[in-house]
Amino acid sequence: MPIEFDSFSGILIILILGFLPLAAITMTAFAKIAIVLGLVRNALGIQQLPPNIVIYTLAVILASFIAMPIMTEAYNIVISEGITFNSFEEWQLAGELTMVPLKEFLTKHTDLTQLAFFKASAEKIWESSGSFTGDENSIAILAPAFLLTELTDAFKIGFLLYLPFLAVDIIVTTVLVALGMMMVPPTTIAIPFKLMLFVYLDGWSKLVHGLVLTYI
């Protein structure tokens, strides 16, 4: 019997570890931060710098920083309950308890319109199976609503960040045409000016600070 339990525990741990990357992408700030950083890189016109590994690593670090209070609260809740993980029921209870602060975070940063849509959709789609309970705090409803909210916010921020760099491109192109230098690629001249503007304004710091503060 102990051997069977150990095997089950091992499989359960592997499944949880396999689910963690998906949860990290869909239920944390990672998606919005990675998209905004990628859009800024494209707006600067430097497609390969910083490389993807740097952008994703920075997104992971910032998402972990934002999620640290949630993870700490979940850990304290599990510890306070004295769970020893010696049975399936305790694993299940631990999962339910850790979902409490996570659901609060998702609800706080989810657009109510998206939440209402997925709740109504779940009611229609799941009606035949009888699995819909009418609980809008269900993780199956909160996760897609939160992710869609994050994607929408990311592209809104990206659009606003694109505007000053677009203005630089337009000015450089206009000046080159006025000087008769139509054979000179505008990006060759525009990129140094955009980099100078970004560095002068301390762009990376302000961008990271602004992204973190959106979750306060």
Q: Mean pLDDT over residues 64-82, rounded?
A: 82
| pLDDT winner (highest mean) among 14-18, 152-156, 184-188 | 152-156
**Residue 130 backbone class (left: φ over 0; alpha: ψ -120 to 50; beta: rest):** left
The answer on pLDDT for 10 being more than 70 is no
What is the Rg, in whole angstroms, of the alpha carbon atoms belonging to the chain?
23
pTM of the model: 0.79
Q: Which comes out higher in pLDDT, residue 72 or 189?
A: 72
The domain in which residue 17 lies consists of 2-213
Q: Mean pLDDT over residues 67-86, rounded?
A: 77
Give dist(CA 81, CA 100) in Å, integer.
Answer: 14
**How many domains, in total, are found in the chain?**
1
Q: What per-residue confidence (pLDDT) applies to 154?
A: 92
3-state secondary structure of 83: coil
Give dist(CA 193, CA 196) in Å, integer.
Answer: 5
Segment among 39-43, 45-49, 64-68, 127-131 with least mean pLDDT? 127-131
